[in-house]
């Protein structure tokens, strides 16, 4: 851990020295001196870290070195913060100050600049003296110099050590320790940080990667963004059998995982005193006597003070239980980089004093507004406000946060607008929601220069009056995975408006898109790009409330489409309208939902052997004219609010159907032809005479029969063998 901390700090020192502020602070000379001292000490560090677990004096020395590295990290972040302030001031006076004056602003003798330089120089001198003492202690401890080869970078993990091809369970503690010993410095640091979670806790993969990024454990390597690097780190740790019990989403991506208790113990062993989880069963004062706790996960339910005043260099504070307000102790932890608080009812304006914060998670908060002082957090990279359903407004000054890379606003139902000119936050890579407005600063074109990735929901597209605004949003340049395009479903005046032209201009990147939802679109037809076979990764498509649509896109062309949902399209007659001889369509489609389609007749206008060959789940509701056709792979069917379900004898159109749910249907015929049926549910079916007529011996595999709300049913059929049923 110490080596990883030191490596990260030296990288930050080099970066700052190359900036304009670095010149102003005379940082280049100081950088060379500190780098020389740290490098000399680092040469013995690998040996010291191995010996610290058996030698208390060496352990204490390593701890002092880490503390010095963290102090330097604070100084560097203070300088970065000052640089951001100066850039902000320069931008404010851009219109009224000459270029010559602006270029010399950093070299000016403004009192606050001189005072800042004095304070930094003073802290640097104290740190240098501290490092001199640490170097002297190293000599006294006679630590062996072992310069570690720098060959275990991220790009060489697989070349350096390939223990296993697939994850498997190791039965002995020695096996796991062997794996960790071979981990590169960066990997070891990321693994040790996992000790911040409780044993057997289900850990969200994306959440963990965000914590790694915010702590500076991983960053962009020039080839990949930080999140992609984090994904590689996670995959490598998984390959080393350090993670297990993974869960995936509908796209096959890992969403969560667990660690074996033995692996968790090992992570805590590697992390030593730096990382701590505290619960109501722990004695906080005793734990907090460990002065070197830098990362704390607080699971206490009791309402007493956080008691964090002793932890002077706390970097991470995760409050995992409900907290009405932030305690004063937390707001005085000025070294915090990460803060996560659940169910907060009010955020204190003192949050602006935590100026080193790079990660702030206030998800599920109950506040309506946020203090303007939040905009003083100029180092903030990630701001998460998911499920803050009472939040009505964001601070107008949010665009000051030039370092902000992620703004997450999922399910913020009361929020109706973003601060103006969000496009000025050009570091944004993830913006979960955007509200289109009609005034300058709120137009769709604000998205134009943002290099967005991952998920994006755009609301109020009916407000787009100028098609150029839609074109200037540059949607095709954004590497989005999930995209939602929403028009207001209830509109006054013109019916179609410019919906089709706007949708035409919002064509997304074909290479990255995995799911698309279009809602409230009032065009009669869809643009050509929605039928493009180049969407090779598009697996999910939802068309909601496209009420004026007469004809759907040619969806059979989408090669990877697995899930399709169509709702409230009152003129659509077929999911696939055009068929040709030996036409192959919907080869990958597995799940299909059709709701409120009053004109729908069939799935396809013509029968075909190659239509819907993989469809296994079909959910149909309020489609009064719909009739089934041959679906050879269908296993689950729900029919709701349909006047009649009929399966014709000899047709054998549903040979694999195992689970059938019939709800609020007037009449059902032909159940005896569903010979593979295992589960049958009849719910609020008005005509149940079919049960008396049904020969249950024709359904030899039936094991579950549910009858609910069928009040006209007087008795069960005599040929029903109850002993055969399991439910």
* pLDDT grade for 652, boundaries at 50, 70 and 90: low
Q: Is residue 512 assigned to a domain?
A: no
- Residue 211 maps to which CATH number? 1.10.10.10
Secondary structure class of 682 (helix, strand, coil): strand
Top-confidence residue, 439 or 632: 439
Is residue 129 domain-shared with residue 15, that is, in the same domain? yes
- Calpha distance 723→727 (Å, rounded): 10
Structure confidence at residue 691 as a pLDDT band (50, 70, 90)? low
First to last CA, the chain: 56
Between residues 493 and 102, the one the model is more confident about = 493
Paired with 683 in beta bridges are: 663, 708
Residue burial 453-480, b: 16+ Cβ < 10 Å; e: rest = bbbbbbbbbbbbeeeebbbbbbbeebeb
Average of per-residue pLDDT values in the chain: 81
pLDDT at 311: 81
With pLDDT > 90 as the criterion, what percentage of the chain qualifies?
42
Tell whether the model's pLDDT for residue 19 goes beyond 80: no
Assess if residue 211 is contained within a domain: yes
**Diameter of the chain by CA atoms?**
100
The most confident of 35-49, 287-301, 323-337, by mean pLDDT: 323-337
In a domain, 451, yes or no: no
The CA angle 608-610-616, to the nearest 5 degrees, is 110
Given this model, what pLDDT does residue 70 score?
A: 84
The three-class DSSP label of residue 639 is strand
Indicate if 119 and 2 belong to the same structural domain.
yes
523 with 496: CB under 8 angstroms? yes
Query: DSSP code of 346?
Result: B
Q: Which domain holds residue 250?
A: 183-272
Last residue of a domain, one of 228, 257, 272: 272
One domain, residues 1 and 136: yes
Q: How confident is the model at residue 650 (pLDDT cuts 50, 70, 90)?
A: very low
Do residues 122 and 232 share a domain? no
pLDDT at 135: 83
Q: Residue 2 has what pLDDT? A: 57
Do residue 119 and residue 233 come from a single domain? no
Instruction: Tell me, yes or no, whether 666 lies in a domain.
Output: no
Q: What is the pLDDT of residue 318?
A: 93
Q: Given the structure tokens 């959910």, which residue do they identify?
A: 619
> 672: Cβ–Cβ under 8 A, 6 or more apart, which residues?
694, 695, 698, 699
Least confident stretch, 331-345, 408-422, 567-581, 710-724: 710-724
In a shared domain, residues 133 and 13: yes
Buried/exposed code over 147-171 (b: 16+ C-beta within 10 A; e: otherwise): eeeeebebeebeeeeeeeeeeeebe
- Dihedrals φ, ψ of 445, to 5°? -65, -15
Mean pLDDT confidence for 370-383: 94
The answer to whether residues 217 and 124 belong to one domain is no
The tokens for 602 are 């069939």
As a whole-number percent, the residues of the chain with pLDDT over 70 amount to 74
DSSP H helical ranges for 142-172: 157-160
**Residue 282 vs residues 82, 279, 298: alpha-carbon distances, Å:** 40, 5, 10
**132, 189: one domain:** no
Q: Interhelix angle for 185-193 vs 205-215, to 10°?
A: 120
Q: What per-residue confidence (pLDDT) applies to 105?
A: 46
Beta strands in 378-502 (DSSP E): 382-384, 406-408, 430-431, 433-435, 453-459, 479-486
User: Could you give the 3-state DSSP secondary structure of residue 48?
Assistant: helix
Question: Look-up: residue for tokens 């020295």?
Answer: 17
Tokens 């100081």 belong to: 30
Q: Which of 221, 248, 272 is the last residue of a domain?
A: 272
What is the per-residue pLDDT for 670? Answer: 67
Same domain, 11 and 133: yes
452 pLDDT band, cuts 50/70/90, is very high
Please name the residues in contact with 90: beta carbons below 8 A apart, sequence gap of 6 or more. 102, 105
Q: How far is CA 542 from each of CA 454, 555, 622, 723, rounded to the nearest angstrom?
A: 18, 12, 17, 43
State the pLDDT at residue 8: 61
If asked whether residues 11 and 117 sit together in one domain, one would say yes
Q: What is the pLDDT of residue 48?
A: 72
Split at pLDDT 50, 70, 90, the class of 12 is low
- In the chain, the number of structural domains is 2
Q: What is the pLDDT of residue 152?
A: 42
Answer with the residue of higher pLDDT: 490 or 275. Answer: 275
How far apart are the C-alpha atoms of 346 and 348, rounded to whole Å? Answer: 6
Mean pLDDT of 513-534: 94
Give me the count of residues in the chain: 727
Q: What is the pLDDT of residue 32?
A: 66
Q: Can you give the pLDDT at residue 493?
A: 57
635-639 average pLDDT score:
92
How does DSSP classify residue 26?
Answer: T
Last residue of a domain, one of 254, 272, 290: 272
| Same domain, residue pair 199 and 264 | yes
Q: Tell me, yes or no, whether 475 lies in a domain.
A: no
Least-confidence region, from 10-14, 424-428, 467-471, 604-608: 10-14
Pair 74, 2 in one domain: yes
Residue 155 domain-assigned?
Answer: no
Q: List the single range of 485-489, 628-632, 642-646 with lowest mean pLDDT.
A: 642-646
The Cα–Cα gap between 135 and 39 comes to 11
Number of Cβ within a 10 Å radius of residue 62: 22
- pLDDT score for 416: 93
Is residue 326 in a domain? no
Per-residue pLDDT tens digits for 579-624 = 655 566 788 899 999 999 999 988 887 766 667 889 999 999 999 8
Across the strands, what pairs with 591?
563, 617
Joined tokens for residue 279: 């619960």
Strands (E), 494-548: 515-519, 540-544
Query: Which alpha helices (DSSP H) does 458-522 contain, by range?
Result: 467-471, 499-505
DSSP conformational letter for 556? G
513 occurs within a structural domain: no
User: pTM for this structure?
Assistant: 0.85
């Amino acid at each position: 851990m110490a080596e990883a901390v030191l490596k990260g700090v030296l990288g930050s020192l080099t970066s700052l020295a190359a900036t304009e502020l670095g010149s102003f602070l005379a940082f280049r000379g100081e950088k060379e001196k500190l780098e020389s001292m740290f490098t000399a000490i680092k040469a013995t560090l690998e040996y010291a870290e191995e010996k610290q677990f058996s030698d208390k004096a060496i352990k204490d020395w390593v701890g002092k070195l880490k503390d010095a590295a963290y102090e330097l990290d604070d100084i560097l972040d203070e300088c970065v913060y000052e640089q951001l302030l100066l850039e902000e001031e320069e931008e404010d006076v851009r219109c009224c100050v000459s270029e010559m004056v602006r270029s010399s602003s950093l070299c000016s003798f403004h009192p606050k600049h001189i005072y800042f330089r004095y304070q930094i120089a003073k802290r640097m001198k104290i740190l240098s003296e501290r490092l001199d003492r640490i170097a002297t202690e190293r000599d006294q401890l006679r630590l062996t110099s072992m310069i570690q080869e720098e060959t275990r970078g991220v790009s060489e993990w697989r070349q350096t050590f390939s223990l296993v091809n697939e994850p498997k369970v190791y039965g002995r503690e020695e096996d796991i320790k062997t794996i960790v010993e071979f981990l590169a410095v960066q990997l070891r640091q990321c693994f040790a940080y996992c000790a911040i979670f409780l044993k057997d806790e289900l850990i969200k993969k994306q959440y963990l990667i965000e914590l790694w990024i915010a702590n500076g454990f991983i960053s962009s390597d020039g080839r990949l963004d930080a999140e992609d690097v984090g994904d590689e780190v996670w995959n490598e740790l998984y390959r080393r059998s350090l993670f297990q019990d993974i869960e995936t989403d509908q796209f096959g991506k890992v969403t969560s995982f667990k660690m074996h208790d033995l692996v968790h113990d090992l992570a805590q062993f590697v992390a030593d005193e730096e990382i701590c989880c505290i619960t109501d069963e722990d004695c906080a004062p005793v734990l907090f006597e460990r002065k070197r706790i830098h990362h704390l996960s607080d699971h206490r339910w009791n309402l007493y003070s956080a008691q964090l005043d002793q932890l002077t260099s706390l970097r991470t504070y995760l409050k995992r239980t409900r907290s009405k307000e932030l305690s004063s102790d937390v707001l005085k932890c000025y070294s915090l980089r990460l803060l996560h608080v659940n169910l907060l009812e009010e955020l204190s304006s003192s949050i602006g004093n935590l100026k080193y914060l790079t990660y702030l998670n206030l998800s599920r908060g109950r506040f309506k507004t946020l203090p303007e002082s939040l905009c003083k957090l100029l180092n903030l990279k990630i701001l998460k406000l998911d499920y803050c359903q009472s939040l009505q407004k964001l601070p107008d000054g949010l665009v000051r946060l030039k370092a902000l890379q992620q703004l997450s606003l999922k399910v913020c139902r009361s929020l109706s607008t973003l601060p103006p000119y969000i496009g000025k936050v050009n570091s944004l890579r993830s913006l979960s929601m955007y509200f289109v407005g009609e005034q300058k600063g709120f137009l769709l074109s604000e998205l134009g220069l943002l290099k967005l990735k991952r998920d994006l929901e755009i609301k109020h597209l009916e407000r787009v009056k100028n098609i150029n605004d839609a074109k200037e949003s540059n949607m095709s340049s954004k590497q989005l995975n999930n995209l939602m395009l929403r028009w207001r479903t209830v509109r006054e005046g013109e019916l179609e408006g410019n919906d089709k032209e706007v949708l035409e201009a919002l064509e997304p990147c074909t290479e990255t898109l995995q799911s698309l939802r279009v809602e409230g679109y009032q065009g009669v037809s869809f643009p050509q790009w929605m039928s493009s076979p180049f969407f090779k990764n598009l697996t999910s498509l939802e068309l909601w409330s496209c009420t004026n649509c007469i004809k759907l896109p040619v969806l059979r062309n989408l090669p990877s489409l697995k899930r399709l949902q169509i709702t409230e399209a009152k003129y659509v007659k077929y999911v696939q309208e055009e068929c040709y001889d030996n036409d192959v369509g919907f080869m990958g489609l597995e799940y299909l939902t059709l709701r409120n389609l009053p004109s729908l007749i069939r799935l396809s206008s013509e029968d075909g052997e190659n239509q819907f060959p993989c469809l296994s789940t079909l959910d149909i509701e309020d489609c009064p004219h719909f009739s089934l056709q041959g679906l050879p792979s269908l296993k689950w069917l729900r029919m709701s609010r349909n006047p009649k379900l009929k399966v014709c004898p000899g047709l054998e159109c549903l040979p694999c159907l195992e689970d059938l749910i019939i709800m609020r249907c007037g009449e059902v015929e032909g159940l005896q032809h569903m010979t593979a049926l295992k589960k049958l549910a009849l719910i609020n079916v008005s005509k149940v005479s079919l049960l008396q007529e049904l020969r249950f011996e024709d359904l030899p595999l039936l094991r579950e029969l549910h009858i609910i709300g069928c009040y006209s049913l007087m008795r069960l059929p005599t040929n029903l063998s109850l002993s055969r049923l399991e439910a």
